[in-house]
Amino acid sequence: MSQRIKIKALLESEQTGIDIKINGWVRAFRQNRFIALNDGSTNNNIQIVVDFENTDPNLLKRITVGAAISVTGELIASLGKGQKVEIVAKDIEILGDCDPEKYPLQLKNRPSLEFLREIAHLRFRTNTFGAIFRVRNSLAFAVHQFFQERGFIYLHTPIITASDAEGAGETFHVTNFDLANPPKTESGEIDFSQDFFAKATNLTVSGQLEGELGAMALSDIYTFGPTFRAENSNTTRHLAEFWMIEPEVAFNDLNDNMDLAEDMLKYVIKYALDKNAEDIEFLTQRLTEEEKQKPQNERSEMSLLEKLQFCLDNDFERLTYTEAIDILKESTPNKKKKFQYPVEGWGTDLQSEHERYLVEKHFKKPVILTDYPKEIKAFYMRQNEPDANGRETVRAMDILFPGIGEIVGGSQREERLEKLEQRMDEMGIPKDELWWYLDTRRFGACPHAGFGLGFERLVLFVTGMGNIRDVIPFPRYPKNAEF
């Protein structure tokens, strides 16, 4: 297998007349003569021409869709149209048969995304999922490159922790107990002091709190790892296991934080556009086709490619929560009672219908909302002075994207010990358990800020897919942990 050339390199090569070896999976075999072979390096297949009159019929029978084969042959300038080069086979070896009677992935009748989710172990073999996972790979690499170019330290924060960073109580427990018979305390509660870690632990919902500890010495850090939420949200935007990128920067305020987030998003989108032009072109066509099924007024005005370019070319709109509420109150859908949740007063959280109105209808571009009411945000956000009406807000920011809603959530952090402790008391966050977090406010505290980017929401945006379950290889969501 040593000298195999990948199909992507082959299709770009100008050098014909040489003998080469390629391996891959059969996508199609027409007229006992033309094999379309794919190895995942590109969406394009290489055509292999088989001299069927001089080939063993038993071998021909085994060249079926899905079979893994190895081909040695001569690379020639293609006689047909659609490709520059093709291969005239000299030797074909079947590496792995694929019984067409049993193979569930018959690409003839385009399988639905729902069906492909049930055979997620095989869906990598379709053009759509090949493109998605190559784009996902590029985005992940670009995230690292962006931060590394700027001198950030990649910090690995723990997956198992005893804290609920967001204080939302949506954690998955981690325990070694025999669930049928856990040790109990005298008062009848489960006695976690006897558990593996001698305390109750869970999978992390965010690496932020530990990230802040790192930033208080290393200045600029980022995490990029899996996070877990046991929220029972059966939506196209939520996963129970998702990847999050969380930078945390000492000496940054909220404006610096917004600049960093906007720069990062533009950088990684640009990287994917350059690196994965063919895949994004393919996904753009896929989306356009899909949208043809929708009524005219529900189709997007821009193609996927145009949307991505538009996002690069325009400044994100920045405004406060209070300004957004005023816009929403006066909006046509609110006045005509078209919102499921009418916008009446100040202080309630925005629903995704409101976020989408702001982004897709009102501003028609990405939006950064800041300074949310403190009651609807986490304990660690920096408290603003009450405004003239006595309204209390925090230095929060959410970035909202078209078709996605919230893609980034972040804030300037409360670095003043008294303010932080007071807020933790008000919200019932146990201070003794977070002694280490509070220590950073005791020893050389400084202003700092950070945010979390939901990686799958980014991949959703860049691939134009409609369901977050289709942009992670093996999605975890309520009632599903297959594969």
User: What does the binding site for ligand 4AD look like in residue numbers (CB under 6 A)?
Assistant: 165-166, 206, 208, 229, 231, 238-239, 242, 244, 246, 406-411, 450-452, 454, 456-457
Residue 407 touches which of Mg ion, ligand 4AD, none (CB < 5 to 8 A by kind)?
ligand 4AD
CB of 166 to ligand 4AD, least distance (A): 5
Contact 273, 311 (CB under 8 A): no
Local structure of 211: helix, strand or coil = helix
Contact 416, 441 (CB under 8 A): yes
82 Rama class: left (phi>0) / alpha (psi -120 to 50) / beta: left
Q: Which of 99, 77, 100, 101 is nearest to 88 (CA)?
A: 77
CA-CA distance, 4 to 46, in Å (whole number)? 14
Q: Which of 18, 452, 40, 471 is nearest to 246 (CA)?
A: 452
| The one among 66, 409, 447, 475 contacting Mg ion by CB under 5 A | 409
Integer Rg of the chain from CA: 27
Residue 373 touches which of Mg ion, ligand 4AD, none (CB < 5 to 8 A by kind)?
none
CA-CA distance, 114 to 122, in Å (whole number)? 13
CA-CA distance, 266 to 143, in Å (whole number)? 11
Write the binding mask 350 to 389 for Mg ion: x where contact by CB under 5 A, - elsewhere.
Answer: ----------------------------------------
CB of 226 to ligand 4AD, least distance (A): 11
Residue whose token pair is 């305020």: 253
Residue 44 touches which of ligand 4AD, Mg ion, none (CB < 5 to 8 A by kind)?
none
Residue closer to ligand 4AD (CB basis): 254 or 407? 407
Q: How many CA atoms lie within 13 A of 428 on its CB side?
A: 4
CB of 399 to ligand 4AD, least distance (A): 8
Stretch that binds Mg ion, among 26-34, 387-395, 409-417, 439-447 (CB under 5 A): 409-417
Residue number of the CB atom closest to Mg ion? 409
Contact 247, 451 (CB under 8 A): yes
Residue closer to Mg ion (CB basis): 87 or 397? 397
C-alpha torsion angle, residues 421, 427, 429, 434 (rounded to 10): -30
Contact 280, 305 (CB under 8 A): yes
Stretch that binds Mg ion, among 3-11, 178-186, 293-301, 401-409 (CB under 5 A): 401-409
Residue closer to ligand 4AD (CB basis): 280 or 453? 453
Residue closer to ligand 4AD (CB basis): 224 or 282? 224
CB of 242 to ligand 4AD, least distance (A): 4
Residue closer to Mg ion (CB basis): 123 or 238? 238
CA-CA distance, 483 to 342, in Å (whole number)? 41
Residue whose token pair is 């053009």: 127
CA-CA distance, 352 to 350, in Å (whole number)? 7
- Alpha helices (runs of H) in 292-434, residue ranges in sequence order: 304-313, 321-330, 332-335, 352-356, 417-427
Stretch that binds Mg ion, among 148-156, 331-339, 353-361, 408-416 (CB under 5 A): 408-416
Residue whose token pair is 């007229």: 31
Residue 166 touches which of Mg ion, ligand 4AD, none (CB < 5 to 8 A by kind)?
ligand 4AD
Residue closer to ligand 4AD (CB basis): 73 or 452? 452
CB of 256 to ligand 4AD, least distance (A): 14
Residue 206 touches which of Mg ion, ligand 4AD, none (CB < 5 to 8 A by kind)?
ligand 4AD
Residue closer to ligand 4AD (CB basis): 29 or 222? 222
Q: Is 454 in the site for Mg ion (CB under 5 A)?
A: no
CB of 285 to ligand 4AD, least distance (A): 27
CB of 220 to ligand 4AD, least distance (A): 14
Say if residue 76 is exposed, middle or buried (CB neighbours under 10 Å; 0-12, 13-18, 19+).
middle
Residue 208 touches which of Mg ion, ligand 4AD, none (CB < 5 to 8 A by kind)?
ligand 4AD
CB of 445 to ligand 4AD, least distance (A): 18
Residues near Mg ion, by CB under 5 A:
409
